[in-house]
Amino acid sequence: MGGSLFPKARMARVVNLRSYCHMNRKYNYILFLLLLCSSRAMSQAPVISYGDFRFFVRNETIKPVTPVNKGGKVPSKIYGATSLYMGRSAGAFNHPTSVDVDHAGNVYVADEYNNAIKKINKDGTVITLATRSLNRPSGIAVDKNGTIYVADCFNHRIVKILPNGSFKVIAGTGYPGSSDNRIGSLASFRYPVSVAVGEDGNVFVADEGNNKIRKISAEGDVTTLAGDGQPGSTDNSNGKLARFSQPNGLTVDRSGNVYVADQLNHKIRKISPTGSVSTFAGTGIAGFNNSSRLLATFNNPRGITIDAIGNIYITDVGNQLVRKINNLGVVSTLSGTGAAGSFNSNDGSRSTFFFPNDVAIDNNGNLFVADCLNHSIRKVSVTGYNILPGILPEGLSFDRTTGVFSGTPKLNEEGQQFTVTAYNAYGESTTDVTIAIALQPGNALSFDDVDDVVNVQDAPGLTPETVTVELWLNLRSNPQSLRSARFLVKRNSKMRYDDSYSIGLNEYGCFIAVMASGTGLEGSQVIATSTQKAMVNRWYFVAGVFSKDSLSIYVDGKLGSKVRSGFPISKGYNALSLGFDKFPYLADEVRIFKTDRSAKIMDDMLHIVDPEDPDLIAYYNFNSGTPGGANKNYTTLFDQSGNNYNGKLLNFVNLNGNESNWVESLAMVIPVAEDPVGITADGFAAKWRAPIFGKVDHFFIDVSETENFDRLVEGYANKKITGTTAEVKGLKSGQNYYYRLRAGKAILEEQSASSNTITTKTLK
């Protein structure tokens, strides 16, 4: 009953070295190794990941998110997809009770009320193999040689059908009884309902009427493997003292363990090769609960089979479900809603069955179900991808054949976790991914001036030969009040001058990039300093480029300064830290690259980075928490690059749930300045576009006589404006002027970074 097959890993093709005699032995050997390695690469479970967190911008079509698979290939099927394999009208089935599959993929059916054994060929044709003197055949199994074994239930006997079509009774007198005998035809059974065949040729029988599991050796000797004949649920190391209650389906694993669907005990029992009986799964109480195997519940389990890697599949008749116990002992539902019906769906959780009585699996990840009261054979895929929960945010879709997320998200989502599992014939891989959706690049993390810090454990990948660090910063206190502060630092192993690389502020309030040689001696570091002084409550895009030749600092996409370094980036075992020095600020969109991004920094300022960029070392978008929420469960800063350099949040008040350190961010929420209109001798009308990201309700305009904005026009220094135009008056004729914008939001005490600068000239 689905217990005779053990799908084999495909063997490497044997290379006939003689056919390559024109090649030398070395090249033949290399070819052989390549083929062998290729086969081994195919013969392994998948190992998938997406990165822990994915942020999508609302109403923007996302770049398809494809799983990274470092293991075996996942077939292009849909896990749990359920379809009709052969129906009553096509195959003339009437109450099919048992099913099995041979190594060629042919399906065999015990068609109980037709008193027939039928075969469904791979081409879909159905033939009748046997009807002679059968009386309600209830169980079927096919061995590795193609011999069919049948539990001829109401004749109280076991018969076999050889590949040549000959029919033979191998055990049972034809009358009900419970006697063992070395001569099979003299032994007796009472309503045997299921058979399974081990690789050694032993046949196991679920002798339901006797509450026993019987064994028929290859020589025909019939013995009792387990069960004392009385109904019950007793486990015992001596199998003959154990008890079952109408045992039904059987399957055998490669080690010779027999698994029993003990239907009225609502359990799955296990019988070792020595006869010891134990409870493998189920509490013994009828019900439905997916959990670890001994905490799960079943309701009249009847059919059972096992695959090549130890996953067990069960038809849970009372629940109208097909269930699975994976090789880690976790019970799940593969297909079925729990209601009776005959609905097929690519989503197994929507399919329905009507008394699924037995199950068998082939070599290609197809599970066949004898759907008894639907008088049909159904097929369920056990390879491909699955996602839970199955309903994604509106506008997003998940391709269950490829594991790819795609679409255009329509609604905000603060952060929902999805569990994706990939299945192939050699195992499964599960990963979690949290999806957040917003109109802007999400949230920022607020650091206090006491002890907030995020630490990323040291790893060699964090200190390559060249590093570009980019981050958005918003100062919450006067920067001149401190001697200096570091916002991001990767430290080396020294006590002093320990910056492998860092971004911070000097005592004058200017952004700096610092790099140390690793000697720990005074004078062993270089500093690149920007000329622009930082202001409070304003977002800045700060970047540093570190290499053995030079060190550069950029602010809002513009080069602040570049100095010679003269030494490589120093290594060390200390963490990469955010909030290392005590200074209040907001941080957002931290990116660390292993290349020089000098030519791309302005573009990086205006765009969300691609998490799959091969040059990314780490990427933190700070979109895990909910702005204003307690966020007490968010203790990890997730690396979106897939390199898993996740950070640990330490000492944040919000981790106790008292207040929020996650706030709405205006990083990257940048207006776009446009050429003015209506130019006159004393003014013009400035124009701009609203930011690509985010939703804002006002703007700030600066108008200056100089390009560096050190001579602002009176009345136009940080002037608040609503709308996207502003009349600028009172200017000198025939003179150059410059203007830029920043965005703001009423509920936030902050401003975005400055827009691009527009140059214009008044008329003479």
Q: DSSP states of 92-143 as a string?
A: --SSEEEEEE-TTS-EEEEEGGGTEEEEE-TTS-EEEEE-TT--SEEEEEE-
Report pLDDT for 14: 32
pLDDT of residue 82: 97
Residue 473 included in any domain: yes
Taking the C-alpha atoms of residue 119 and residue 121, their distance in angstroms, rounded to an integer, is 6
pLDDT of residue 721: 95
577 DSSP β-pair partners: 455, 489
In a domain, 29, yes or no: no
Nearby residues of 4 by Cβ (< 8 Å), 6 or more positions away: 100, 141, 142, 143, 144, 149, 196, 197, 252
- Sequence-distant (≥ 6) Cβ neighbours of residue 145 within 8 angstroms: 163
Average pLDDT (413-425) is 88
Residue 165 has pLDDT above 80, yes or no: yes
Strand segments, DSSP code E, in 218-310 are: 222-226, 247-252, 258-262, 267-271, 277-281, 301-306
pLDDT of residue 5: 35
Is 611 or 576 the better-scoring residue by pLDDT? 576
- Of 422, 438, 454, the position where a domain reaches its end is 438
Residue 610: pLDDT over 90:
no
* Residue 9: per-residue pLDDT: 32
At 668, list the tokens.
């990257």
Domain match, 143 and 291 both: yes
> Which of 21-35, 386-400, 634-648 comes out lowest in average pLDDT?
21-35
On whether residue 19 sits in a domain, the answer given is no
The pLDDT, as a whole number, for residue 654 is 55
| The model's pTM | 0.64
Q: Is 733 in contact with 758 (CB distance < 8 Å)?
A: no
- 102 in a structural domain: yes
Cα-Cα end-to-end distance for the chain: 97
CA proximity to 171, closest of 234, 215, 229: 215
Q: How far apart are CA 410 and CA 110, in angstroms?
A: 51
Q: What is the pLDDT of residue 600?
A: 95
Q: Which of 35-39, 255-259, 352-356 has the lowest mean pLDDT?
A: 35-39
For range 40-47, the mean pLDDT: 76
Domain that holds residue 297: 81-382
Same domain, 287 and 370: yes
Task: Decide if pLDDT at 711 tops 60.
Answer: yes
- Check if the beta carbon of residue 639 is closer than 8 Å to that of residue 646: yes
Evaluate whether 158 touches 204 at the Cβ level (below 8 Å).
Answer: no
The pLDDT value recorded for residue 13 is 31
Q: Does residue 541 fall inside a structural domain?
A: yes
Whether residue 450 is found in the same domain as residue 377: no
Choose between 494 and 711: higher pLDDT.
Answer: 711
* Last residue within a domain, chosen from 340, 360, 382: 382
The span from the CA of 94 to the CA of 91, in Å, is 9
pLDDT tens digits, one per residue of 461-518: 999 999 999 999 999 887 655 567 899 999 887 777 788 999 999 988 999 999 998 8
| % of the chain residues with pLDDT over 90 | 71
**Do 687 and 715 reside in the same domain of the chain?**
yes
Domain with residue 211: its CATH number is: 2.120.10.30
Q: Is residue 16 part of a domain?
A: no
Same domain, 424 and 459: no
- Domain holding 416: CATH number? 2.60.40.10
| Of 644, 664, 684, the domain-final residue | 664
Whether residues 344 and 458 share a domain: the answer is no
Report the percent of the chain where pLDDT is more than 70.
Answer: 90
Residue 532 domain-assigned (yes or no): yes
**Do 458 and 351 lie in a common domain?**
no
Asked if 215 and 303 sit in the same domain, the reply is yes
> Which of 293, 302, 300 minimizes the C-alpha distance to 326?
293
Among 547, 505, 546, smallest CA distance to 529 is for 505
CA neighbor of 763 nearest in space, from 679, 705, 703, 706 = 679
pLDDT(386) > 70? yes
Strand 427-438, strand 53-57: pairing:
parallel
pLDDT digit string, tens, across residues 536-581: 999 999 999 999 999 999 999 999 999 999 899 998 888 899 988 8
pLDDT band (50, 70, 90) for residue 761? very high
Taking only the tens place, the pLDDT of each residue in 120-160 is 999 999 999 988 789 999 999 999 999 999 999 999 999 99
Q: What pLDDT, on the 0 to 100 scale, is given for residue 90?
A: 52
What pLDDT is stored for residue 20 in this prediction?
37
Q: What is the mean pLDDT of the chain?
A: 89
- Picking from 368, 357, 593, the residue whose alpha carbon sits closest to that of residue 469 is 593
Q: Is 604 helix (H, G, I), strand (E, B) or coil?
A: helix
Does residue 461 share a domain with residue 577?
yes
Structural domain count of the chain: 4
Q: Which of 675, 678, 680, 689 is nearest to 739 (CA)?
A: 675
Q: Which of 366-375, 511-520, 677-686, 711-720 has the lowest mean pLDDT?
A: 511-520
**Alpha-carbon gap, residue 624 to 631, rounded angstroms:** 9
| Section 716-730 average pLDDT | 95
655 — phi, psi (to 5°)? -65, -20
At 619, list the tokens.
Answer: 């990427």
DSSP classification of residue 70:
-
Question: pLDDT category, 660, cuts 50, 70, 90?
Answer: low
pLDDT interval class at 724 (50, 70, 90): very high
Distance, in Å, from the CA atom of 9 to the CA atom of 709, rounded to the nearest integer, reads 71
More confident call, 2 vs 195: 195
Report the CATH number that the domain containing residue 652 is assigned in CATH: 2.60.120.200
Whether the predicted pLDDT of 37 surpasses 70: no
Q: What is the pLDDT of residue 483?
A: 64
Domain membership of residue 169 (yes or no) is yes
Confidence check: pLDDT of 7 > 50: no
The reported pLDDT for the residue numbered 630 is 66
Range with the poorest average pLDDT among 26-40, 77-91, 491-505, 544-558: 26-40
Band (25; pLDDT cuts 50, 70, 90): low
Distance set, CA 160 to CA 73, 132, 168, 192 (Å): 39, 12, 5, 14
Q: How confident is the model at residue 283 (pLDDT cuts 50, 70, 90)?
A: very high
Question: Radius of gyration of the chain from Cα atoms?
Answer: 36
pLDDT band at 23 (very low <50, low <70, confident <90, very high): very low
Whether residue 567 sits in one domain with residue 620: yes
Residues 616 and 689 in one domain: no
Indicate if 201 and 91 belong to the same structural domain: yes
Q: What is the pLDDT of residue 379?
A: 98
Residue 96 pLDDT > 70: yes
H-helix or E-strand containing 605? helix 601-606
Above 60 in pLDDT, residue 18?
A: no
